[in-house]
Amino acid sequence: MGLEEILPQIGYLGIFAIIFAESGLFFGFFFPGDSLLFTAGFLASQGVFEIKILALLCFIAAVLGDSVGYWFGKKVGPRLFNRENSLFFHKENLIKAKGFYEKHGGKTIVLARFMPFIRTFAPIVAGIGEMKYSAFLSFNIIGGLGWAVGISALGYFLGVKVGNVDKYLLPIILLIVFVSVLPGIWHILKDPIERKKVIGLFVNLWMRFRKALNLED
């Protein structure tokens, strides 16, 4: 089942819960926030949802989720760096968010909204770093508007203005996901150490693939 079949079943409450979790609960990093928002906006253009209610709920969920992540980080964050990896927690994601936050400062809260994985951990890192909450909230609101309202509105607009856009829904969603991860890809490629790790990973996977298919010379 695709999102266009799932979202009508989970309704406003389910969408709210997913956006809330991905915005600041450390186990929410695997949720498809960008594609979910776009698809929900598209479905609103088809009469499945009311766009004003949808956009408002997604905005509130995004802002509340980030705020919960911030206070979670402020309260128990330092202990996370000593925690072992598990199904819902990967320390490297927290470390990446910390590095991104230290490089870009407060605007990370806005930028991170459009970066999978990073957006889940950025508010937690802000809490760990004891960023002033009034400043955090300002960036949080701006980011929430741009991400939650902006992407759902984009899906709605294309659904209304472009005929038979549902035929191109999957390619559009894939494009949105690609654009979302592009900053992370660029960060890896421009860093010699990270680039070397990625190349090593692909070489290792290729060797395993050749061995599995008995393609070795």
At 38-94, the pLDDT tens digits run 889 989 988 999 999 999 999 999 999 999 988 888 887 656 655 565 545 556 666
Q: Judge whether 209 lies within some domain.
A: no
pLDDT value, residue 14: 92
Q: Judge whether 203 lies within some domain.
A: no
Q: Judge whether 162 lies within some domain.
A: yes
Distance (Å, rounded) from C-alpha 79 to C-alpha 47? 46
| Helix (H/G/I), strand (E/B), else coil: 66 | helix
Q: Judge whether 213 lies within some domain.
A: no
Q: Judge whether 216 lies within some domain.
A: no
Distance (Å, rounded) from C-alpha 215 to C-alpha 143? 49
Distance (Å, rounded) from C-alpha 117 to C-alpha 22? 8
How many C-beta neighbours within 10 Å does residue 70 have? 25
Q: Which residue has the higher pLDDT, 78 or 139?
A: 139
Q: Judge whether 156 lies within some domain.
A: yes
The answer for residues whose C-beta is within 8 angstroms of residue 126's C-beta and 6 or more apart is: 70, 73, 101, 108, 109, 136
Q: Which residues span the domain enclosing 61? A: 3-188
Please count the structural domains in the chain: 1
Q: Judge whether 212 lies within some domain.
A: no
Is 217 a residue whose pLDDT tops 50? Answer: no
pLDDT value, residue 120: 79
Distance (Å, rounded) from C-alpha 42 to C-alpha 27? 27
Is 36 a residue whose pLDDT tops 70? Answer: yes
pTM, rounded to two decimals? 0.69
Q: Judge whether 214 lies within some domain.
A: no
pLDDT value, residue 145: 92
